[in-house]
Amino acid sequence: MYYMILSVFFPIVAGACLLVSREMKSRKSLLTVVAAALIATAALAVAAVCTAGGGMLTLFHLTDRLPVLFKVDQVGILFSMMTVIVFLCAGFFSFEYMKHEEHEKRYYGFYLIVFGVLLALCFAGNLITFYLFFELLTLSSMPMVLHNGSREAVMAGLKYLFYSLCGAYMSLFGLYFIDSYGNTLTFSAGGVISAAAAGQHGQILLAAAMLMLIGFGVKAGMFPLHAWLPSAHPVAPAPASAVLSAVIVKAGVLGMVRVVYYIFGVSFLRGSWVQNAWLILALLTVFMGSMLACREPVLKKRLAYSTVSQVSYILFGLAVMEPQALTGGLLHVLCHGFIKSALFLCAGAIIFRTGKTRVDQLRGIGKEMPLLMWCYTIASLGLIGIPPTGGFVSKWYLATGALFSGMPVFSWLGPAVLLLSALLTAGYLLPLTINGFFPGADYDYKALVKREPCALMTVPVLILVLLCVALGLFPGVIVETLAQVAQKVL
């Protein structure tokens, strides 16, 4: 059990020490320290998953009724392993990318702190522990948004802070009522709201549930409080954008999973106005994010709008409250994490090697960077949902789960919106591939310069893309595990 605590606090302490330490004698020394901290944290997290055995560990008590509690369950394992893989890949990618950025020591300090805070969210055993680290995630990740110090970055960071705090306060409001009317704040499959409390205080608890969904939905980029995401991504360094889009937004998703399936319970929320409102917001966000991405000329901002859309695929699967849809939603957590981090790292490599940020400037980029653009193309196919990628499998489960749910309207509207969004996804991702590899007869081939990034950038992207394909070719064990989770909480 102590591996779990070490995996959380070791990177936080290491990052804090890096922030307050003197400048390293050389950049190589700094990167050696960061690489060692990343690998050690990953090893500790894996050891925590392998040795925990479902036990719980109370660190200390805030009050008699509010313990800071940690435990490992299957949902926590899913999110923690995705976090470890993405942070390792983006971290090593940043060793090359951050050469042209200032204040590297500060960046890596906050990067390690955020790594530890995210693992704390994955291993949180009750709602108060989750809430404390959820707030800390906002404060520790904001410096990564405003890293370059420009006016645009500062404004984006402030917007991120304002939106996140508003969402957190909504969640805090719901926490008060759960503490008053629930049996416990400890996460329990099926929920902690008794039948008596549901009957006596049903309406106020439903209102609290809706507020908590919107509150955690802010971090997940759910409409109507999604605007921070396309503002933050373009100004942050590309590796920071990768972890923002692939992992940090999933903190909001994890919050929703815990609130719906481990606090309020499906039996209390299914068929209520809360479920219907959540479904509407999720589908609206899926469609709106795809439409905005189609109109966006800046590559990183286009990918940010894509995140707004794709994360709400997950939220739709959670909101259906049906085993297959929930399985698809949880699988899409993994698929989207690997795919979107790969896409942002590809964008970062393009910016690093060419200095170009707009899609219309990248005609012929496939001739200049063929390996990287093949990785981009395969990841794009995964996001669209084309086999043999994991995105196909997760979206298949999402669509069939909705069809089999028997819900009025949403059983057919949901798959229709998901299909339309997939077509729009192809419309905003694949033109870069087409124009990149087939620039046209007027392209100046004589001026072609090979710009393939170095191995330190290419290998992390290749790993993420291979994981995406592996999830599509060999989904069996993971799907079976996620199906067991779905059956347990439903």
Contact 340, 413 (CB under 8 A): no
Per-residue pLDDT at 53 = 67
H or E segment to which residue 329 belongs: helix 323-354
b or e along 418-429 (b: 16 or more beta carbons within 10 Å of the residue's beta carbon)? beebbebbbebb
How many Å apart are CA 245 and CA 232, to the nearest integer?
10
Strands (DSSP E) contained in 173-248 are: none
Those residues with Cβ within 8 angstroms of residue 490's Cβ, 6 or more apart along the chain or in another chain:
261, 266, 321, 322, 323, 326
Strand 66-71 and strand 56-63: the pairing is antiparallel
Q: What tokens does 159 get? A: 């917007």
How many Å apart are CA 7 and CA 2, to the nearest integer?
9
Per-residue pLDDT at 257 = 93
CA distances from 427 to 166, 345, 434 (A): 34, 20, 11
How many Å apart are CA 453 and CA 112, to the nearest integer?
25
DSSP per residue, 372-398: HHHHHHHHHHHHHT-TTSHHHHHHHHH
Q: Chain centroid to CA 207: how far?
A: 26
Q: CA geometry: angle at 337 spanning 311 and 214, to 5°? A: 30
Q: What tokens does 384 get? A: 């669209």
Q: Chain centroid to CA 339: how far?
A: 11
Q: What tokens does 245 get? A: 């889009």
Per-residue pLDDT at 214 = 92
Q: Chain centroid to CA 52: how far?
A: 24
Per-residue pLDDT at 90 = 92
Q: What share of the chain is helix, strand, coil (3-state, %, to 5)?
A: 80, 5, 20
Q: Is residue 370 classed exposed, middle or buried when 0-12, 13-18 and 19+ CB atoms within 10 A define those classes?
A: middle
Per-residue pLDDT at 316 = 93
Residue among 107, 89, 83, 134 nearest 247 (CA): 83
Residues in the chain: 490
Q: Chain centroid to CA 176: how far?
A: 27
How many Å apart are CA 351 and CA 146, to the nearest integer?
18
Contact 308, 299 (CB under 8 A): no
Predicted confidence pLDDT, tens digits, the chain (490 residues) = 678 888 889 999 999 988 888 877 778 888 888 899 999 999 999 888 888 766 788 888 888 788 888 998 888 889 999 999 999 999 999 998 888 877 888 889 999 999 999 999 999 888 999 999 999 999 998 888 887 777 888 888 888 888 888 888 888 888 888 888 877 888 888 878 877 777 787 788 898 889 999 999 988 888 888 888 888 877 888 888 888 888 998 999 999 999 999 998 888 888 889 999 999 999 999 999 899 988 888 888 899 889 889 889 999 999 999 999 999 999 999 999 999 999 999 998 888 888 887 888 888 888 888 898 999 999 999 999 898 899 899 999 999 999 888 888 888 888 999 999 999 999 999 989 988 888 777 776 666 677 788 888 899 999 999 999 999 999 888 889 898 888 888 7
Sketch the domain layout of the chain as residue ranges. 295-490
Per-residue pLDDT at 1 = 67
Q: What tokens does 40 get? A: 């050690």
Strand partners for 126: 186
Residue among 272, 261, 257, 126 nearest 205 (CA): 272
